[in-house]
A and B are shown apart, each in its own frame.
Chain A
């Protein structure tokens, strides 16, 4: 039997219990998954799959509750310190995690360049002095500083600690859409004859 089947949800033929989850009209029943692999027990990856499913659903629910259902005073002039803790952290955590991921990637790049051990290049082909290690050191320093400032900013609920990363993420996405749009406008609209 296929693991995914798509009856109307809820389906009277399928016992709805705590482990039966309905997503987009598809019922994902763990007992079916267990049977699918015959005599083998539910594998470890599948357990992680269920944990991921439950946690992500719970977090999505918590996010919607914190941002849209908890009552806050959004009147003009209110700062971030007056919004409910859950509302603030529901926005700050995802934005902060993305920003920290970018900073960590920058740090990792710098660290890799700084610490990689290689045979020095053949002297005959070296044209100019290489300052990569020094630049890599400053990249590590800069990204670590940015991360520290960001964490502190979020801790004290500074507006810019949310606004700057949110703007950067939005601009990257919007910039990409703009780029693709420009490419569509400037691309030849008919297929070449050959």
Chain B
């Protein structure tokens, strides 16, 4: 089968989308499929064996000042760039939409050379996909979680009117709802996320398939010879992403009986602004360390040096950080937000559950696990076992191929057969 994966961002260090793209491409190739990747910046690293087609943009939304390319100064006036420029200045996030149109133009060229059997998008859902559909190749999309969740959780935090206007404009919900309902199939990464997609976008439940993400156990494993730091906890995630709920963890740290030290790995937060002020407000400066961007090796070391991981998210479509910590044999205090219970498993067996937005419960959980090292060890070992058995990328790829075949058959055979 020749599979074309689309992703408007592809770097695995920029979030779940990049991780998803990289691992799926590798696993699909292991199953003998020919994989092409049409991807926007930041680009993924070279995926050996996959054919990469890069689609550039000027990233006007984040590049507020130095957006002129000295070697192509007038490129901002090209139609897509100029639209992107004006929309960005108005607070709209146009990257998703323009990627979809650019991907159409790229695919229009590529289909002359390659017979794709299926196109698989990774949470873009731009209007340009309606044109890609006209090419006539079965087209599916993965939605990790609907962005309605991000918008709602953002509004839970104090902010002024102007910021709220920007947030309403930022999320392309109308477009994604429109496009999601016109895809051949929607794939998502948890049953909870499937329900949310059904609720937010109105996609019928029978058109949504659940394929769990995987976890690379060759990367995430416990390093045995490293000594655990006493009363240490770790949080991994973008601290500026309001749905991660770190504020409840910080509040919990003021309520614990034991003085704990928190390491925050927030490589995905380019503009750390809100959270340091909260750390200051709770007077936790001496108990919190921000690592910034670190290498994967250092992250594994940190997991191995720490006693407890906390995932206090208000919502997670899947919850990679919780799964990573579990793969490293760390007991995870996890909220019951979104898909976390599906990933973490059972209370006091493979994890420790607390309700979302409940700082007191997190504090009780931290104290309980600090006081019970045997329970920590037991939960850590059971957690790793669960991750290794349930969440593998090879399973994910196999299930995806079944969905591709189902969609291809429903569309009257493969691209080659149609030829």
Sort chain A's interface into a size bin: 35 or more
Question: A110-143, CB under 8 A of B: which get 1 and which 0?
Answer: 0011001011111011111011100110000000
Closest to B68 in A: A187
Binds A, one of B16-24, B33-41, B156-164: B156-164
Decide: B158 and A127 in contact? CB cutoff 8 A.
yes
Decide if A176 touches B89 in the complex (CB within 8 Å).
yes
Chain A's closest residue to B90 (CB) is A172
Q: Quick check: which of B71-79, B190-198, B384-392, B396-404 contacts chain A, the rest being far away?
A: B71-79
Is A37 part of the binding interface, using a Cβ–Cβ cutoff of 8 Å? yes
Within 8 A of A (CB), among B275-304: 278, 281-282
Whether the Cβ atoms of B134 and A119 lie closer than 8 Å is no
Asked whether, in the complex, the Cβ of B130 is within 8 Å of the Cβ of A132, the reply is no
Judge whether A180 and B77 touch: CB under 8 Å.
Answer: yes
A116 & B155 in contact (Cβ 8 Å cutoff): yes
The answer to whether A184 and B134 have CB atoms under 8 Å apart is no
Residue of A nearest to B173 (CB): A112
List chain B residues, Cβ under 8 A from A128: 158
Cα(A118)–Cα(B247), bound, Å: 16
Contacts of A109 in B (CB 8 A): 165, 168-169
User: Quick check: is B32 within 8 A (CB to CB) of the other chain?
Assistant: no
Q: How far is the CB of B359 from chain A (nearest CB, A)?
A: 8
Residues of A within 8 A of B224 (CB): none
Q: List the one stretch of A38-46, A88-96, A160-168 in contact with chain B.
A: A38-46
Query: What secondary structure prevails in chain B residues at the interface with A?
Result: helix
Interface residue A194 (Cβ < 8 Å from any Cβ of B): no
Q: How far is the CA of A113 from the CA of B281 in the complex (A)?
A: 27
| A130 proximity list for chain B (CB < 8 A) | 158-160
A188 within 8 A of B: yes
> Are A119 and B419 touching (Cβ within 8 A)?
no
Q: B418 — which chain A residues lie within 8 A by C-beta?
A: 37-40
Cβ–Cβ < 8 Å partners of B77 in chain A? 177, 180
Contact with B along A29-70 (1 / 0, CB 8 A): 000000011111001011001000000000000000000000
The answer to whether B152 touches A125, judged by C-beta atoms less than 8 angstroms apart, is no
Does B164 lie within 8 Å of A39, measured CB to CB?
no
How many angstroms from the CA of A40 to the CA of B135 in the assembled complex?
A: 13
Chain A residues within an 8 Å CB radius of B136: 36-37, 40, 43
Distance in Å from the Cβ of B40 to the closest Cβ of chain A? 22
B412 to chain A, nearest CB (A): 5
B68-A46 in contact (CB<8A): no
Quick one: CB contact mask for B146-189 with A, threshold 8 Å, 1 for yes? 00000111011111110011001100000000000000000000
> Quick check: A118 and B133 within 8 Å, CB to CB?
no
Check B251 against A119 for contact (C-beta < 8 Å). no
A129 CA to B329 CA, complexed, in Å:
44
In angstroms, Cα B89 to Cα A146, docked, is 23
- For the complex, give the distance between the alpha carbons of A36 and B112 in Å: 12
**Which residues of the partner chain B approach A2 to less than 8 Å between Cβ atoms?**
112
Chain A residue nearest to B418 (CB atoms) is A38
A177 to B68, CA, bound (A): 13
B contact residues around A189 at 8 Å (CB): 70
**B85–A176 contact, CB under 8 A?**
yes
**Residues B70 and A118 in contact, CB atoms below 8 Å apart:** no
**Which of B85, B156, B160 makes the CB contact (< 8 A) with A118?**
B156
Select A126's contact among B68, B112, B158, B168, beta carbons within 8 Å.
B158
A53 to B359, CA, bound (A): 58
Q: For residue A42, give the distance in angstroms from its CB to the closest CB of chain B.
A: 11
For chain A, residues 180 to 194, give those with C-beta under 8 angstroms from any C-beta of chain B. Answer: 180, 183-184, 187-191
In the assembled complex, which residues on chain B have CB atoms less than 8 Å from the CB atom of A176?
82, 85-86, 89
Q: Which residues of B contact A124 (CB under 8 A)?
A: 251, 281-282
Interface residues of chain B, those whose CB is within 8 Å of chain A, are 66-68, 70-71, 73-74, 76-77, 82, 85-86, 89, 112, 130, 133-134, 136, 151-153, 155-161, 164-165, 168-169, 247-248, 251, 278, 281-282, 357, 359, 412, 417-419
Binding site for B on A (CB under 8 A): 2, 36-40, 43, 45-46, 49, 108-109, 112-113, 116, 118-122, 124-128, 130-132, 135-136, 172-173, 176-177, 179-180, 183-184, 187-191
Supply 21 A–B pairs (Cβ within 8 Å), ascending by A. A37-B418, A38-B417, A39-B412, A39-B418, A40-B412, A40-B418, A43-B136, A45-B134, A49-B134, A109-B168, A113-B165, A113-B168, A116-B155, A122-B247, A122-B248, A125-B247, A177-B77, A180-B68, A180-B77, A183-B67, A187-B66
